[in-house]
Structure 1
Amino acid sequence: MDIILEAKNRETGARSTLTKLRNKGQLPAVIYGYNVDNKPVTLDYKEMSKAVQKYGRTSVFKINLEGKQINAVVTDVQRCALKGTVKHIDLLSINMAEELEVDVPVTVTGESVGVKEGGVLMQPVRELKIKVKPSEIPESIEVDASNVGMNESISVAEIRNTVPFEIVNADEDTLVSVTPPVVVNDDTAGQGDTEVQDIKATGAPESQS
């Protein structure tokens, strides 16, 4: 990574303090882990966003903290419920020589046989926890759903030996499944409209807007 993110110490306090920081384009964060005590810091929101867009959330980020460069991964993201913007992140300082557990998104590829037949593709588990060296963290784990038919699925057990790292999730966790489409009963379809027509036929007054 050619981007080094600058982290500045911040004081913990009232929510209003965090709001002021965010209004100034700062992203509140906490850095903890390898050779770092639990440190409340701020990062430049735009610079962090650029780094995530360029390298992906699962990447190892280089951060300059009090003149010391550390390697860290994002372990938690808090977003604003209304705007969807990031309010706070947790960063784990890591030892590049040791394996760590990280959550990696699952990407489904291929058009399944079941979907071609009218089925609905479901993805119950969208992230997998893996144990891997920091330099080998994948951006995502691809699962090919091409051969998944109606009422069929792919579990963790079926891909465990196809990836070059340890998957922490249980074998029975379902990654992809195809279910039959929901059938709408024609007898009940439009029933609401019929009831409205019956009310009007009786001469009942219509509501005024």
Structure 2
Amino acid sequence: MDMATKMKAQKRESGTPNSALTELRSKGNVPGIVYGYQAETTPLTVSEIDLIKTLRESGRNGVINLDLDGTKYNVVLSDYQMDALKGNFKHVDFLAINMSDELEIAVTVHTVGEAAGEKENGIVNQPNREVHIKVKPSEIPDSLDVDVSKLEIGDHLSVGDIRDTVSFEILDEDDFLLVSVTAPRTQEEIDELEETPETEGAEPEVVGSDEESDSEKEA
């Protein structure tokens, strides 16, 4: 990426109470923080409209030129929280980076083509949808594209199979599985799954709350 996408942000007080954060979000803003290279950890807010527009332009891993009340940082979106019900951003973390240093970052694995095994009703599985890479900020790819067109039933694709085909370093091990093609389930297997009774007396699953407070986030 030759030029970083620009976005503005405003500082906010540390330890903002939840009631103020709720009001802030209701006005179309997203609380967050910036930290990292030549940046003290600073609470901030950004317009959600600007954030969505910026991410569409730069991509999930793109470099953003963040103007924080006149102080500019080159940043990437390192983490974020979404409201599970409303589908909007609740919190964003920006990591300030040195454009001359390589960065360790996760990128999405994107399959290209139709696996040969699919023509025989094979099932394409993606057990790992991200890989971790080390790359200069200006060379971060939007995704890691892997061609699956030659995969037959029983075949698989791991990091070791593609490591030499990319221009950046992949940090995951060679046996880190990306894609596999398995045989379709038989009718007997399907019948067995349907006949398996639910476990009685099982403890209810505890699901983590999406309402993590900013005080916890910034601690």
Q: Smaller-chain TM-score range?
A: 0.7 to 0.9
Distance in 1, Cα, partners of 2:59 & 2:5: 13
Distance in 1, Cα, partners of 2:98 & 2:113: 36
Higher RCO (Cα < 8 Å, 6 or more apart): 2
1:8 is aligned, of 10, 24, 41, to: 10
Structure 1 residues 187 and 114 mapped into 2: Cα distance closer, same or farther (>3 Å)? closer
1:106 alignment counterpart: 109
Q: How does 1:1-209 map to 2 (within 5 A)?
A: 1=3, 3-11=5-13, 12-185=15-188
SS in 1 for 2:67: strand
**What is the aligned length?**
191
SS in 2 for 1:57: coil
User: Normalising by the residue count of structure 2, what TM-score does the alignment of the two structures yield?
Assistant: 0.82
Letter in 2 for 1:8: Q
Letter in 1 for 2:84: A
Distance in 2, Cα, partners of 1:186 & 1:32: 51
Cα deviation for residue 128 of structure 1 reads 1.0
Letter in 2 for 1:30: I
Structure 1 residues 166 and 133 mapped into 2: Cα distance closer, same or farther (>3 Å)? same
Question: Alpha-carbon deviations, 1:58-106, whole Å to 9, x = none?
Answer: 1000110131211000111111122222211111000001101111111
Distance in 1, Cα, partners of 2:120 & 2:98: 49
Identity, in percent, stands at 43
Unpaired runs of at least 5, structure 1: 193-209
Distance in 1, Cα, partners of 2:49 & 2:114: 36
Distance in 1, Cα, partners of 2:141 & 2:49: 24
Distance in 2, Cα, partners of 1:48 & 1:179: 40
Distance in 2, Cα, partners of 1:37 & 1:79: 25
Cα deviation for residue 13 of structure 1 reads 2.5
Q: CA RMSD in A?
A: 1.9
